[in-house]
Amino acid sequence: MYLDVHKNAEGKMKKTVKAFKGELATIRAGRANPAMLDRIKVDYYGALTPLKQISNISVPEPRQLVIHPYDANALPEIEKAILKSDLGLNPANDGKIVRLTIPQLTEERRKDLIKVISKATENAKIAIRNERREANDELKKMEKNGELTEDDLRKSEEEVQNLTDKYIKEIDKLTEKKEEELMEV
């Protein structure tokens, strides 16, 4: 019975780490990466639509992204959406495509991005700790209902803590890797 609680908690923790990886991918590190445009939503005929659903995004050079919209009428809206975003990029529109040249990161921008990464890291850790708390609450409820003994409860809580430690270490490794990527010139 308590194994279901562990599996459920581990599944939620894996999803949190996966979401964190996705969030890190959207933070630019001086190289062109189509994932950095994942959060951009374009006002497409009155509906906010993800940019990748209305265009093809390619990387012709290491420091350049090319956005080729399926509908040429969407070009001005794509430009506006990119300018509004927190990416700090200036789109160049030639009537058919939008080019984004990724400039070299300044020291100040690198520090700002590390702050963004730190905030995302802390949010992911908080989510994992919340999942631990939920699992422990469920285990305590099971013990109160007589489904678990005190020893089983203690053992189960220890296993949940081990899961928590494992996934927090994984988040720390991902953060460290991204910060190194940002700081390389």
97 phi/psi in degrees, rounded to 5: -135, 165
Domain definitions of the chain by residue range: 2-25+106-183, 34-101
Confidence band for 88, pLDDT divided at 50, 70 and 90:
confident
Q: Are 97 and 55 in contact (CB under 8 A)?
A: no
Q: What is the pLDDT of residue 163?
A: 93
Q: Which amino acid is at 37?
A: L
Confidence band for 185, pLDDT divided at 50, 70 and 90:
low
Query: Widest CA span of the chain, in angstroms?
Result: 70
Asked whether the predicted pLDDT for residue 30 surpasses 70, the reply is no
For the stretch 100-117, pLDDT in tens is 888 777 788 788 888 888
Q: Which CATH architecture has domain 2-25+106-183?
A: Orthogonal Bundle (1.10)
Q: Which CATH architecture has domain 34-101?
A: 2-Layer Sandwich (3.30)
Q: What is the pLDDT of residue 1?
A: 66
Confidence band for 28, pLDDT divided at 50, 70 and 90:
low
Confidence band for 135, pLDDT divided at 50, 70 and 90:
very high
CA atoms within 13 A on the CB side of 141: 8
